[in-house]
Amino acid sequence: MARFLKLRTPILTVALMALLLAVLSACASPQNTFDPKSDATDSILTIYILVTVVASVVGFAVLAAMVWLIIKFRAKPGVPAKQIHGNTKLEIAWTIAPILILLIIGIPTMYWIAGTAEDPAPNVLEVEATGHQWWFEFTYPGMGPDGGDLITANELVIPVGRDVRVTLHSDDVVHSFWVPQLVGKTDMIPGRTNVLQTFNAYEPGLYYGQCAEFCGTAHALMRFRVNVKTSADFSTWADAHNAGPAAPEPGTAAARGSLGFATCSGCHAISGTAAQGRIGPDLSLFGERSTIAAGILDNTDANLKAWIGDVRSIKPIPEGARFMPTFNDGTLDEGQIADIAAYLNSLTAE
C-alpha cells in the first residue's frame, strides 16, 4: 500500500486532474474560465492549469502521506512511540522544497505580469467603460458622429481579432469589470482610472460579463454582454449607430412610441435623435441588443414592457437610490408603454 501510494500518487493525480480539466472545460456555463475565447484568458488558463496541477500533486501527496502515517503508526500494544524531537537536515529540506515548488509557479507568474505591461498592437480599439449602480456604460472615443464619442450601454460591441483595451471608471461605488471567457477582472473605482488587460477575441459571439465587486443591493443583477462581431459587422454597427434611426413609418406603434419617448429623453439618449439624456443608459440601436436591464432579461417585447412599467418588480432598487422611475403607476398607460417598447425594438442596424 505504502509503495503504491508513494509511486502512483503523482501519476494518479495527473490523471485525475486531466479528467477534472476535461470536465471543467466542457462545463456548459457561459462564464466558464476554463473555456477561454481570447488570447488574454488563454494565457491565464495556461498558468491556471500549471498551478492547479502543482497544487493538486502536492495536496494529494501530502494527504496520501498523512493517511499512510496514521495507518502505519496507529497504536499497537507493546510498540512504544519513538521519542524523536526533530531532525535538522529534514527540516531544512522541507523548507527548501516548497521554495523550489513555488519557483515553478512563481517564474511564469512574473512573466505574465511583465506581459500585462506590454503595449498593445497599434490598431488597438480603445473603449472606456463606466460602472453605474447597476449597469455598464461603454464609450468609444472618436468613433461617434463628427469625431465625438460613440456611447452605448450594457452590450459592449467589439471586432474579432483586434486588440481591445478597456479603460475603467466608476460613477458611484466600486464595481469590477469581468468577462470570464474574454478577460480577467479589474475593478472600476471612483476617482481612479484603471486599464483592463488588453485582449483579442478569437471568434464572434455573445459573451457574458458581470460585475464582480459587491456594489450594493442589486449587485447580482449588474451584468452585461460582449458582442464580438466580424470586422465588417462591427463597422456596419458603428455606422448605423452614428447615422441614427430612420423615421418610423407614420401611424405605427413605433412612430407613436418615438413621440412618447420624450418622457424618457431626459435620461436616455438615442444617437441621431433629439433624445440626448445622459443619466441612464444610452439606448441607440436598442433593437440590436440581446438583453435588457443590464444583461438580466432577454430582449423580448413582454420583458421590455414589464421593465418600462415597473423596474422595481425586476431589480431590487433600494428606496432613495437614483434609478429609473416606475411608469405603470399611472404616468403611462399600457398602450403608451407598448408603443415605447415597439419604438425601442425598431432601432436596428438595418
Partner 1 sequence: MAANTGILRRPLAPVGIWAWMTTVDHKRIAVLYGVTAFFFFLLGGMEALVMRVQLASAESTLVSAATFNAMFTMHGTTMVFMVVMPAGAAFFNFLVPLMIGARDVAFPRLNAFSYWLFLFGALFMNFSFFMNAFPDMGWFGYAPLTSNEFTISNATDYWVLGLLVMGVGTTAAGFNFVVTILNMRAPGMTLMRMPVFVWMTLIVAFLIIFAFPPLTIALAFLTFDRFFDTNFFVDIGAGSDPLLWQHLFWIFGHPEVYILILPAMGIVSDVLPTFTRKPLFGYSMVVFAGVVIAFLGFGVWAHHMFTTGLGPWANAAFSATTMAIAVPTGVKIFNWLATLYGGSITFKTPMLFALGFISMFMLGGLSGVMHAVTAVDSQQQDTYFIVAHFHYVLFGGAIFGINSGIYYWFPKITGKMLSERLGKVHFWLMLIGFNLTFMPMHILGVIGMPRRIYTYAEDMGFEFLNQIVSAGAFIIALSVIMFIINVVRSVRQGEPAGDNPWGASTLEWSISSPPHHYNFAIVPTVRSQYPLWDENANVILPPALPAHDEPVMPDPSYWPIVVAFSITMVAGGLIIWQGHAIAGLTVIASMGLLGMRAIYGWVLEPMEDEAHVSVHH
Footprint of partner 1 on residues 219-278 (CB under 8 A)?
Answer: 219-221
Q: Using the rule CB under 8 A, is 296 a contact of partner 1?
A: yes
Q: Using the rule CB under 8 A, is 168 a contact of partner 1?
A: yes
Which listed range, 7-15, 207-215, 262-270, 274-282, lies at the site for partner 1 (CB under 8 A)? 207-215
Using CB under 8 A as the binding rule, the residues of this chain from 43 to 72 that contact partner 1 are: 43-44, 47-48, 51-52, 55-56, 58-59, 62-63, 65-66, 69-70
Asked if 268 and 297 touch (Cβ cutoff 8 Å), the reply is no
Residue 148 CA to residue 242 CA, distance in Å, equals 10
Q: Using the rule CB under 8 A, is 119 a contact of partner 1?
A: no
Min dist. Cβ of residue 90 to partner 1 (A): 7
Asked if 305 and 340 touch (Cβ cutoff 8 Å), the reply is no
Q: Using the rule CB under 8 A, is 131 a contact of partner 1?
A: no
Q: Using the rule CB under 8 A, is 32 a contact of partner 1?
A: yes
Q: Using the rule CB under 8 A, is 194 a contact of partner 1?
A: yes
Q: Which is nearer to partner 1, 8 or 192 (CB)?
A: 192
Q: Using the rule CB under 8 A, is 12 a contact of partner 1?
A: no
Which listed range, 123-131, 188-196, 224-232, 265-273, lies at the site for partner 1 (CB under 8 A)? 188-196
Q: Using the rule CB under 8 A, is 1 a contact of partner 1?
A: no
Asked if 138 and 151 touch (Cβ cutoff 8 Å), the reply is yes
Min dist. Cβ of residue 278 to partner 1 (A): 18
**Exactly one of 9, 13, 17, 34 binds partner 1 (CB under 8 A); which one?**
34
Residue 235 is placed in which grid cell? 463597422
**Exactly one of 176, 258, 299, 345 binds partner 1 (CB under 8 A); which one?**
176
Q: Using the rule CB under 8 A, is 340 a contact of partner 1?
A: no
Residue 148 CA to residue 278 CA, distance in Å, equals 15
CA dihedral 322, 254, 154, 275 (to 10 degrees): -60
In terms of Cα–Cα distance, which of 285, 279, 290, 289 is closest to 242? 285
Residue type (1 letter), 66: M
DSSP letter at 325?
P
DSSP string, 221-253: G-EEEEEEE-HHHHHHHHHHHHH-PPPPPTTSH
